[in-house]
Amino acid sequence: MRIGIVGLGLMGGSMALALKHISFVTSIIGTDHNEEHQRIALQRGLVQAIVPFEQLKAECDVIFLSVPVDGVIALLGECTDLSGTDKTLIDLGSTKALIVDAIPPSIRENFIPAHPMTGTEQFGPNAALEGLYADKVVVLCDLEHSGHSQRDTALRIFRSIGMQVHTMGAAQHDRHAAFISHMPHVISYALANTVLAQEEKENILTLAAGGFRSMSRLAKSSPAMWEDIFRQNRENVLEAIELFETELHTIKQALQEKDYVALRKEMKEANKLYEIFS
């Protein structure tokens, strides 16, 4: 199986590292609009060659689109020549509904909308990590509209790199992602800006320990990428923020009223989250 990866940053580069260990993968080539990314990807051995997109489409059996959602949508228009082939297109975008709606009908069977629920706050090919995908969840959306061969190929690949496969509709995915992925980034950015707005921010930050560092880590994430995600999933993110504001107000009110029984009740309720995880 010949693999092509479009976009050689954290997700695409890490996918290349994971696929290197799979026996049925015979070659991995890539393309990236950023020449520095190309150089680093070759230097790190993420791919065997950098080729133009048209060549990559022609030579590969499976093509990963590991670029921002707007980029995936733009590339879809350049893939209609794959209609009628057994080639498999897999995107790794963080939102799914816009992508699914943009797939040209002629290549709908070729396409697998996927979202690996993993990542770091780093970006670019230097951020590519061995094991990024191992034991993580990947969500495959609207698979009933993908071809049998393409479904089988995607499942074989994701399971071979150690991922746990879940399926759901694109709209359902986007709402869920707003709560467990997108809203945490909103909160992290807001927390960082709250501290930075204080007059003695340097003194405050000297006290920063595990709690603050854990919660603010996501504020290092790419603003360009996350602006796109917030725009593309705007309605769901707004709903998540509004529901979070309601919970925050409950805690604020308990403190204002010195109602520590109610405060403890809220915290004990939150403890139940990790009963689900365990």
State the average pLDDT over residues 150-156: 97
Calculate mean pLDDT across residues 183-205. 86
Calculate the CA dihedral of residues 212, 213, 215, 218 and round it to 10 degrees.
150
pLDDT interval class at 121 (50, 70, 90): confident
What are the beta bridge partners of residue 166?
A: 139
Higher pLDDT, 275 or 31: 31
- Angle, CA 15 vertex, CA 13 and CA 19 arms, to 5°: 120
Evaluate if residue 210 carries a pLDDT over 80: no
Taking the model in full, what pTM does it have?
Answer: 0.86
Q: Do 117 and 181 form a contact (C-beta atoms < 8 A)?
A: yes
Confidence of residue 222 (pLDDT cuts 50, 70, 90): confident
Buried b (16+ CB within 10 A) or exposed e, 258-277: eeeeebeeeeeeeeeeeeee
How many whole angstroms separate alpha carbon 168 and alpha carbon 71?
A: 23
Average pLDDT over residues 60-70: 94
Cα 233 → chain centroid: 13
Residue 132 has pLDDT above 90, yes or no: yes
Instruction: Name the least confident of 48-62, 81-95, 149-163, 219-233.
Output: 219-233
pLDDT for the residue 278: 65
Q: Looking at the predicted structure, is the pLDDT value of residue 113 above 70?
A: yes
CB 91 within 8 A of CB 116: no
Q: Domain 2-168: which topology?
A: Rossmann fold (3.40.50)
Is residue 107 a contact partner of residue 133, using CB atoms and an 8 Å limit?
A: no
Mean pLDDT of the chain: 92
Q: Ranked by mean pLDDT, which of 185-199, 211-225, 249-263 comes out on top?
A: 249-263
Q: Tell me which fold the domain 173-277 belongs to.
A: 6-phosphogluconate dehydrogenase C-terminal fold (1.10.3660)
Average pLDDT over residues 208-222: 80
The whole-number average pLDDT for the span 14-37 is 95
pLDDT above 90 for 204:
no
When pLDDT is cut at 50, 70 and 90, the band that residue 197 belongs to is confident
Q: For 41-55, 113-127, 240-254, 261-275, which range has the lowest pLDDT when averaged over its residues?
A: 113-127
Residue 198 confidence (pLDDT): 84
Give start and end residues of each alpha helix (H) in the chain. 10-19, 35-43, 53-59, 69-76, 97-102, 148-160, 170-177, 183-196, 201-206, 210-216, 223-232, 234-256, 260-271, 273-277
Spans of all domains in the chain: 2-168, 173-277
